[in-house]
Structure 1
Amino acid sequence: MRVINILACALFIIGCSEALSKKDLDQLNGYWEIAKVSFKDGNTKEYKVSTSVDFIKIDSLKGYRKKVQPKFDGTFDTSNDAEFFTILEQNGEFIFQYKNNLSEWKETILEVSKDNFSVSNETGIIYAYKRFNPINAKE
């Protein structure tokens, strides 16, 4: 009976959570730093400081993701390398679909808010990001 109650509570919580909408995806635009990686075996790796930041730009469910390195003056070092993607909507989920000359992969968007987002890759690893706040040493 206890198991049934736990399952019922879990289903209620899942059912009450708000689904992502296309409008939510606009919040992905900007600079993000990795906060935590959760592995399928239950282990996690937390990142206190990151030397690179992901810049994401989305327009009409297409966009790109690029690694940049923040500098102390508030600017970024960057290269011309970028991973282009399309966002697919499948079964109520939004999925980043990446494809380049060498490989192809997908990440399911789990959560998006103004300050956080997370994705799960095809092997079940979850990547959690937080909005990057630059340090400006000039101030």
Structure 2
Amino acid sequence: MKNIIGLFFLFFLFISCQQKIKPSDLSKINGYWEIEKVVFDQGNDKDYTINQSYDYFQVDKNNTGFRKKVMPQLDGTFVVNDTYENVNIRFENDKVFFYYITPYAKWSEELIAIYKDQLVFKNADKKEYHYKKVASINILNDGKKTQ
């Protein structure tokens, strides 16, 4: 009986700790994000200690925008190409979904959590992508202001 009560308590704690994402939270997504790790549905993690590219998100108040890959440079700037993914955000049954569209594919990811400096998505394969917010860093220290 104690085990059942304990399991019920853990389940309730897990459910109550999930973040309820509000439309106002989506403004936090704008900016540069670096992937930290991927959590697979079997519970295995793959850590990313060094990334050659970041994801840049820009979402407007109509819940539309884009995501593109950018490559940070030593002088604090980013190399950017013309490739990007259009994104439409929808709130469905207390969940938030990002629908991506390119000329080649369409897919979606569920936004699990969003904070000032953390972001978590889950894709259709139940992989969780954990991101951290980043800013440009000028490690050349050439006195120029980063962009």
Bin the TM-score by the shorter chain: over 0.9
Q: Structure 1 135/104 Cα, relative in aligned 2: closer, same or farther at 3 Å?
A: same
State yes or no: 1:14 paired with 2:53.
Answer: no
Q: Provide the TM-score with structure 2 as the length reference.
A: 0.88
| Alignment partner, residue 81 of structure 1 | 83
1:40 is paired with a residue of what secondary structure? coil
**5+ residue gaps in structure 2?**
142-147
Aligned counterpart in structure 2 of residue 125 of structure 1, from 112, 124, 127: 127
* Larger-Rg structure: 2
Letter in structure 2 aligned against 1:5: G
Task: Calculate the aligned-residue CA RMSD, in Å.
Answer: 1.4
- Percent of residue pairs bearing the same amino acid type: 34
Letter in structure 2 aligned against 1:31: Y
State yes or no: 1:50 paired with 2:51.
Answer: yes
2:126 is paired with a residue of what secondary structure? coil
Residues 1-139 of structure 1 aligned to structure 2 (within 5 Å): 1=1, 2-15=3-16, 17-59=18-60, 60-139=62-141
Letter in structure 2 aligned against 1:61: N
The separation in 2 between residues aligned to 1:41 and 1:12, in whole angstroms, is 22
Q: Structure 1 100/18 Cα, relative in aligned 2: closer, same or farther at 3 Å?
A: closer
2:107 is paired with a residue of what secondary structure? strand
Q: Following TM superposition, where does structure 1 have runs of at least 4 consecutive aligned residues deviating by more than 6 angstroms?
A: none
Q: Provide the TM-score with structure 1 as the length reference.
A: 0.93
